[in-house]
Structures are given as structure tokens and as C-alpha cells.
């Protein structure tokens, strides 16, 4: 059984009792309708997390008015017609025995003008340069005092609709650079009336909202508040201000305060990449917990039960909010409580399926959980016709296909020609900040061990072997191999591919040129510069890391610039010489000098075995990078889909 006794102890929040301290953090999914209504897909997403054992579910943000809508296909509580759809959600979750909280939200300056059909509103006309028109941004219309008073009532009416819908609590979203946070922050609040100029006045809008909700819903209905603990950019507030706000909120009738971080100007703190340590915001929640008597929660890269337990046991927070970790594995709480933490599917903090897709305005998914958003369609059911399945290749695609096929009752064998499972992920883990990838490999291996999959390592599959064993199903997942450019000089002794460096086959000189400026090349550059070498990157396109999501890219580029990596874009490599690389830039040719040249220009599918196969009368599938080199997300999705098709 679980050793996480503090994490799985009950707690009261107002009149609501939670069975444990794990809360599903509010995260937009784009599963709702354009009218802000709940869908069956959305309900099943939440039900799956409820079945997984969370103590409380907080829905994604519900906009309280049309002008505050963050995007199309978000949820709303701005009109009475939405109550019935929300009742379907609360009823479904109550059947599972899980309480549910509605988050109330107004996007302020961050709203999508496409979604609201007008310029945004805020406390002041301070532009948000990270959203909106190029070189202009979103410039909001300043709210009048009477409009602010009206919005206070708008929030309380939305809270009433939440209660009528069967929600067990409401959470006021006062973080992340949205409207309430804009009032709180001296960076955006430039008012001189009773809603600005002083700390008390900047907090007045939030206090009036909480007081109005408390008056409308009575003394026993739980009211929670989310806050950005501190703003670390110039002109932002610090934790001392939020400590005052927390005390005022407690006096105003709030039942819980949960601490987050960041806004659109420091978005990497909202959805932190791997460079941030797990639980990195707990120092802020501890500061709040020290001055209030109501429960305090915290979010921020809480990816393991041990981190969650440490925060609770150490008195840094009463509740832990898990977001991406519960997207990756809805059964995180259940597995942790049962002592099966090594079976938790880890979030790899890539932001590819969730955050990147969210900001593209499309429905979210998950790189490691192919069932995300498809909880009903991808529910594993046992087959009544078991087959003998041979999977060639033990990378992420092959291992996911093996997991699903074996879970469905098929007899599965995985053949891998190397000494270890994991494919190219075994090289990726050698790059900086890739510990989550190591967890993924361990998870996939553990799963096929539990399911009894036969694994044959150092086993190179041949056409003759396939003909002899004659499996019912053959799945090719043999991956890809590094591209070597057909450049003059590419075979010189000081020229290597990236995998050579990762495998320890490169003796670096004092300076290195990396040809190829994708995310892999950028991560490689960081690994090399950390060894005290000069690094120059050469990229034909107009930016480094162009395939990466914007948060990962921003974080990576900041570190490369800080560490002095020279990045040349719009630069074409023409030839490699004994002195360096001959390039063409702006119509001129020049030689960039370096001792070592590393090619990081991508991969091409392995096709040698595929071309020799005779697959007549064998059910055949091809998945992963041997189809086309892409990301973990595509590899696992294809492996999962084929596992269901067999």
C-alpha cells in the first residue's frame, strides 16, 4: 500500500470534504461548444480523472461574460441556458463520488478578439504585447467604475449558476494576467480611483467579487481563489503583497487560496518546462500558509507522488494541484495510493499535445497518453480472437503497440536489435533536462513486463525469420537513422552526427559547429557549451528551434543566449573543410571556423528491412519513425491505434 499517508489524508474545505489532497487543476481543453456548453467528450475527460482517484476536480475556466471569453470552444457560465449541460457533468462526477468545482474567469486583456468580436477590456489601457496585432498587441478599453461594479455582479451571478448546476464549490480565477490579476498588478493597473493607486484599492475588485459571491451563495458554499504568487518582471508585485491579499481574502470569506505563477509575459512559469524543478512554487504557498488559517493549495510541475507528499508533509501546502500529470495518467492518484507509483505514466513536460495545441486554438491531446480526449473510444477491451503478434523495434511506438495489444489479450513478442529498449529515446535522455524521458522509458518497459510481453534483445529480425515464425500480425517499428548531408567534406574525420556525440564517440575541440538548428540541435548545443566549448549553430531557416512549441522554444533560446551560443540563421552550409564550414549568408560566401563539426539535421526512415519483406497473407502495420520521423506524440498515437486495430 501507499507510503504517502499525508497526501491521502482527508481535508475539509468549508462544508466540502475531500478524501485526499490531490486536485485536478483547471486546464482549458477546447472540448466545449462555441456557445460555452458542455459536451459528452468533456464529461468523459473529467469522469476518467474522477475514476482515477482525485480528491477534487476543478473544471477549466468558465467565462462569466461573453466579453471575457478566452477562446472559442471554452466553457461558460454567463447564461442560464448553460445550467442544464453543467448538471450533466456534476451528476456524472457525483455518481463516481468526486466533488467538482467551477472556475470563474474573465480573460481581460488576454481575450481572443476573434472569440469576442471586440477589443478587450481591462482596468487600464495598458497593452499586452504578447497577444494581438503584430507590433501593437492587445490594447484594452479602460473599464468605468460602473462597469466594474457590474462585473462584480456578473461574477456572483455566474457563481449562482454554478451552484444551481450542482457544483460543490466555485473558484475565482485571479491569476495569470487575466482581468482580476490585471487589477492586482501595478504593472497593469494605472488607475487613480478607488480601484487603483494603493494596494488596498488594487485588491478591491477581487474582494468585492468574493464578498458578493459569499452573500449570494450563503456562508457554507465553498469559495476558492487562484492567485499568481509573485510577478518577477519589472513593475510586477512580489509575494509580500499577495500575503496581504491572502489575509484580506480570508476575512472576506474565502475558503481556500491556491498559488500559481506567471502570465503571458512570463508564460514559462505558468506551464513550466523541465528546467524548473518539481514543486518549484511551494515556497510561495508556504509563505501564504504561514499567515492564514484556511487551506492553501499549490500548482507547478508536481509530477510525482513523492514531490506531492513532500509538499504536504512539509507544511508547504494543504492541497496539490496536478495538471499535466493527470492529463498523462488519469490514474495517478489511484496508483500512488496502491503503492504502484512506478506504473504511473509520466508527463514528459513537452507541452506538445496540451499547451501548444491549446494556443493553436484546437482541442488538446497528450504526447504520452493517446487516449486523452478519446477516453471512450480508446478504452481497452479484451479480444475474443487472440493473435500472435511480432513487433520489430522497441522504441516508443513499438512499446505502445505492444502494451495495448497485450492488454487486449494478444500474444506479443518484441524484437529489438540493440541491447536495450527505448529506441532513440536512450540518446535523448543524455541531453540536458531530459529526466522525464527516462521516466517514460521506464514506464513503457514496466508495462510490457506486467503484461507478459516476450522481449528478445540483440535480435535482428530477417525476412527468413519472419517466414519461419509466420506471425499472425507483423508490426514494423524500426525507427529512423541520422541524415548525413551530401556536402563536400561530410566524411572528414572531424565530422560527426549528433548520435556520435551522445554515445561518447566524439572528442571535442575547443570550438564546435552544429549544422542544423532544430530543437534537437539546440539541446545539443546546450550540452556542448556546458562542457566549456564554444558553439556556433548554422540554420537555413529564419529561427532556431522552429519545430518546438513556443514555451519550450522561448525557454531554450533564453538559455542558449545566456550561455553565449552563437546562432546563425538564413545561413546555408555549402561544404565542410579542414578549417570549418563554408557557408552562404546574404549572397556572400565565408568560412566559419571550428575544430569539430556535428550534423544535427534530422533523420530518415530505416527502409532496408522493409524493402526485403514478403508480407503476403500477414496482417501488416508500419508505425513510428520508419514511416516518417516525427515526435513522440505521433509515435505513441500510431502505436496505440494499431494496438486497437489488431
Q: Dihedral sign, CA of 316, 318, 324, 329? A: positive
Judgement on whether residues 282 and 430 belong to the same structural domain of the protein: no
Closest CA to 12 of 21, 23, 24: 21
Backbone angles phi, psi at 407, to 5 degrees: -65, -25
The answer to the question of residue 303 being in a domain is: yes
Please state the rounded mean pLDDT for residues 255-260: 98
Domain residue limits at 597: 495-601
Residue 91: which CATH number?
Answer: 3.20.20.70
Q: Are 187 and 203 found together in one domain?
A: yes
Question: Buried (b) or exposed (e) across 490-507, using 16+ Cβ within 10 A?
Answer: beeebbbbbbebbeeebe
Residue 528 confidence (pLDDT): 96
| DSSP class of 637 | H
DSSP annotation of 301 reads S
**pLDDT for residue 611:** 64
- If you ran DSSP here, which 8-state letter would residue 136 be given? T
What's the pLDDT band for 347 if we cut at 50, 70, 90?
A: very high
Query: What percent of the chain is modeled with pLDDT above 70?
Result: 98
Packed helices 40-51 and 83-96: angle between N→C axes, nearest 10 degrees: 20
Q: What is the CATH number of the domain that holds 422?
A: 3.40.50.720
579 with 622, same domain: the answer is no
Kindly give, in sequence order, each residue whose CB lies less than 8 Å from that of residue 290, ignoring residues fewer than 6 positions away: none
Q: What is the tens place of the pLDDT at every residue in 410-433? A: 999 999 999 999 999 998 999 988
Instruction: Provide the H-helix boundaries in 113-177.
Output: 113-116, 145-164
513 within 8 A of 592, measured Cβ to Cβ:
yes
In a domain, 573, yes or no: yes
Structure confidence at residue 470 (pLDDT): 87
Residue 50 and residue 188 share a domain: yes
Let me know whether 355 and 442 are in one domain.
Answer: no
Q: Are 302 and 439 in a shared domain?
A: no
Q: Are 208 and 278 in the same domain?
A: yes
Catalytic residue among 178, 237, 321, 443: 178
**Structural domain contains residue 282:** yes
Residue 115 vs residues 137, 377, 511: alpha-carbon distances, Å = 16, 30, 50
Phi first, then psi, for residue 364 (nearest 5°) are -90, 160
Beta bridge partners of 391: 414, 475
Q: In what order do the strands lie in the sheet with 588-593?
A: 571-576, 580-585, 588-593
Q: Which pLDDT score, from 0 to 100, does residue 466 have?
A: 87
Assess contact for 108 and 173: CB atoms under 8 A. Answer: no
Residue 203 CA to its chain's centroid (Å): 31
| Best CA proximity match to 577, nearest among 502, 492, 453 | 492
Q: Which residues pair with 11 in a beta bridge?
A: 18
Query: Which DSSP letter does residue 612 get?
Result: H
Whether the per-residue pLDDT at 614 is higher than 70: the answer is: no
CA distance 317 to 589: 59
- Of 162, 137, 134, the closest CA to residue 62 belongs to 162
pLDDT surpasses 80 at 201: yes
- Asked whether residue 375 is domain-assigned, the answer is no
pLDDT digit string, tens, across residues 433-486:
899 999 999 999 999 999 999 999 999 888 888 888 889 999 999 999 888 778
| Distance set, CA 431 to CA 444, 445, 490, 499 (Å) | 20, 21, 24, 11
Name the phi and psi angles at 337, rounded to 5.
-65, -30
Specify whether 533 is located in the same domain as 629: no
H-state helical runs in 530-602: 550-562
Distances (CA, A) of 265 to 75, 119, 206, 322, 523: 24, 19, 22, 23, 23
Establish if 544 belongs to a structural domain: yes
Q: What is the pLDDT of residue 270?
A: 93
Closest C-alpha among 2, 42, 1, 50 to residue 24: 50
User: Both 325 and 410 in a single domain?
Assistant: no
* 440 vs 136, residue with greater confidence: 440
Mean pLDDT of 200-226: 97
How far apart CA 529 and CA 532 sit, in angstroms, is 5
Lowest mean pLDDT across 290-304, 310-324, 517-531, 605-619 = 605-619
Q: What's the mean per-residue pLDDT of the chain?
A: 95
Asked whether residue 165 is assigned to any structural domain, the reply reads: yes
Last residue of a domain, one of 339, 359, 379: 359
C-alpha separations of 527 from 431, 546, 637 in Å: 6, 19, 29
pLDDT, tens digit (0-9, with 9 covering 90-100), for 531-554: 999 999 999 999 999 888 889 999
Answer for the pair 257, 297: CB distance below 8 angstroms, yes or no.
yes
Assess whether 538 and 619 both reside in one domain.
no
Q: Tell me: the pLDDT tens digits for 9-49?
A: 999 998 899 999 999 999 999 999 988 889 999 999 999 99
- Residue 178: active-site member: yes
Query: Between the CA of residue 411 and those of 179, 395, 449, 459, what are the distances in Å?
Result: 55, 19, 13, 18
- Which residue has cell 507509483? 341
Per the CB < 8 A criterion, the answer to whether 463 and 614 are in contact is yes
Q: What are the grid coordinates assigned to 639, written together?
A: 502505436
Cell numbers at 233, concatenated: 518582471
Question: What percent of the chain clears pLDDT 90, i.e. is strictly above it?
Answer: 86
| Domain shared by 330 and 420, yes or no | no
322 DSSP β-pair partners: 24
pLDDT of residue 307: 98
Q: What angle do CA 362, 332, 633 make, to 5 degrees?
A: 40
Element (H, E) at 208: helix 204-217
Please check whether residues 306 and 445 belong to one and the same domain: no
| 553: CATH | 3.50.50.60
Evaluate whether residue 376 is within a structural domain. no
Give the model's pLDDT for residue 607: 74
Beta bridge partners of 576: 581
Residue 131 lies in a domain: yes
Contact between 603 and 481 (Cβ < 8 Å): yes
Q: What is the CB neighbour count within 10 angstroms for residue 527?
A: 18
Asked whether the beta carbons of 389 and 646 are under 8 A apart, the reply is yes
Length of the chain: 646
pLDDT digits (tens, 9 = 90+) for 370-413: 999 999 999 999 999 999 999 999 999 999 999 999 999 999 99
Give exposure, 573-600, as e/b (b: 16+ Cβ within 10 Å): beebeeebbbbeeeeeeeebebbbbbbb
- Each residue of 582-601: pLDDT tens digit? 999 999 999 999 999 999 99
Spatial CA neighbour of 407 closest among 355, 459, 444, 364: 444
Number of domains composing the chain: 3
Q: Which residues contact 588 (CB under 8 A, 6 or more apart)?
A: none
pLDDT score of 1 more than 70 = no
Pick from 144, 217, 168, 195: nearest CA to 57: 168
Amino acid at each position: 500500500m501507499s507510503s504517502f499517508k499525508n497526501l491521502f489524508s482527508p481535508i475539509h474545505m468549508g462544508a466540502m470534504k475531500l478524501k485526499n489532497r490531490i486536485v485536478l487543476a483547471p486546464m482549458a481543453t477546447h472540448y466545449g461548444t462555441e456557445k460555452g456548453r458542455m459536451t459528452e467528450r468533456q464529461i468523459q475527460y473529467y469522469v476518467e480523472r474522477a475514476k482515477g482517484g482525485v480528491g477534487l476536480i476543478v473544471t477549466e475556466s468558465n467565462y462569466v461574460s461573453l466579453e471575457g471569453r478566452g477562446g472559442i470552444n471554452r466553457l461558460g457560465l454567463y447564461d442560464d441556458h448553460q445550467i442544464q449541460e453543467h448538471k450533466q457533468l456534476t451528476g456524472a462526477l457525483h455518481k463516481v463520488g468526486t466533488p467538482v468545482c467551477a472556475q470563474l474567469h474573465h480573460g481581460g486583456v488576454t481575450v481572443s478578439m476573434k472569440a469576442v468580436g471586440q477589443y478587450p477590456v481591462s482596468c487600464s489601457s495598458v497593452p499586452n504585447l504578447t497577444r494581438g496585432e503584430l507590433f501593437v498587441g492587445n490594447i484594452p478599453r479602460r473599464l468605468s467604475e460602473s462597469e466594474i461594479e457590474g462585473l462584480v455582479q456578473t461574477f456572483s451571478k455566474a457563481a449562482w449558476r454554478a451552484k444551481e448546476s450542482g457544483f460543490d464549490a466555485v473558484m475565482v480565477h485571479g491569476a495569470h494576467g487575466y482581468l482580476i490579476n490585471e487589477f492586482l498588478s501595478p504593472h497593469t493597473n494605472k488607475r487613480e480611483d478607488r480601484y487603483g493607486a494603493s494596494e488596498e484599492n488594487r485588491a478591491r475588485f477581487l474582494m468585492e467579487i468574493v464578498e458578493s459571491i459569499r452573500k449570494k451563495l450563503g456562508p457554507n458554499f465553498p469559495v476558492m481563489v487562484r492567485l499568481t504568487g509573485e510577478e518577477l518582471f519589472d513593475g510586477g508585485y512580489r509575494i509580500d503583497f499577495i500575503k496581504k491579499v491572502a489575509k484580506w481574502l480570508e476575512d472576506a470569506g474565502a475558503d481556500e487560496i491556491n498559488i500559481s505563477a506567471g502570465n503571458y509575459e512570463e508564460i514559462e512559469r505558468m506551464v513550466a518546462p523541465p528546467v524548473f524543478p518539481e514543486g518549484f512554487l511551494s515556497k510561495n504557498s508556504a509563505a501564504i500558509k504561514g499567515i492564514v488559517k484556511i487551506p492553501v493549495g499549490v500548482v507547478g510541475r508536481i509530477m510525482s507522488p513523492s514531490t506531492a507528499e513532500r509538499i504536504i508533509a512539509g507544511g508547504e501546502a494543504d492541497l496539490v494541484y496536478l495538471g499535466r500529470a493527470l492529463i498523462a495518467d488519469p490514474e495517478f492518484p489511484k496508483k500512488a495510493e496502491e503503492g504502484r507509483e512506478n506504473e504511473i505514466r509520466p508527463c514528459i513536460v513537452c507541452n506538445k499535445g496540451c499547451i501548444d495545441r491549446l494556443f493553436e486554438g484546437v482541442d488538446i491531446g497528450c504526447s504520452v497518453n493517446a487516449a486523452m480526449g478519446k477516453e471512450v473510444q480508446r478504452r481497452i477491451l479484451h479480444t475474443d480472437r487472440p493473435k500472435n503478434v511480432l513487433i520489430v523495434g522497441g522504441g516508443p511506438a513499438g512499446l505502445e503497440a505492444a502494451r495495448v495489444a497485450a492488454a487486449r489479450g494478444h500474444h506479443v513478442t518484441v524484437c529489438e536489435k540493440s541491447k536495450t529498449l527505448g529506441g532513440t529515446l536512450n540518446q535523448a535522455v543524455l541531453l540536458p533536462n531530459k529526466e522525464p524521458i527516462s521516466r517514460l522509458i521506464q514506464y513503457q518497459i514496466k508495462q510490457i513486463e506486467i503484461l507478459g510481453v516476450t522481449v528478445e534483445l540483440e535480435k535482428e529480425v530477417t525476412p527468413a525469420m519472419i517466414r519461419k515464425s509466420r506471425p499472425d500480425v507483423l508490426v514494423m517499428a524500426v525507427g529512423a537513422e541520422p541524415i548525413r548531408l551530401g556536402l563536400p567534406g561530410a566524411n572528414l574525420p572531424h565530422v560527426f552526427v549528433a548520435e556520435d556525440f551522445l554515445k561518447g564517440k566524439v572528442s571535442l575541440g575547443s570550438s564546435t559547429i552544429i549544422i542544423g538548428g532544430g530543437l534537437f540541435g539546440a539541446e545539443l548545443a546546450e550540452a556542448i557549451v556546458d562542457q566549456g566549448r564554444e558553439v556556433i549553430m548554422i540554420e537555413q531557416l529564419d529561427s532556431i528551434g522552429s519545430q518546438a512549441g513556443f514555451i519550450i522554444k522561448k525557454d531554450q533560446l533564453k538559455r542558449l543566449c545566456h550561455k553565449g551560443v552563437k546562432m546563425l540563421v538564413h545561413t546555408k552550409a555549402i561544404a565542410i573543410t579542414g578549417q570549418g564550414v563554408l557557408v552562404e549568408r546574404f549572397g556572400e560566401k565565408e568560412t566559419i571556423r571550428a575544430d569539430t563539426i556535428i550534423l544535427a539535421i534530422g533523420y530518415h526512415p530505416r527502409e532496408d528491412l522493409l524493402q526485403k519483406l514478403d508480407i503476403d497473407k500477414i496482417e501488416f502495420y508500419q508505425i513510428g519513425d520508419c514511416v516518417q520521423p516525427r515526435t513522440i506524440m505521433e509515435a505513441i498515437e500510431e502505436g496505440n491505434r494499431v494496438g486497437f486495430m489488431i
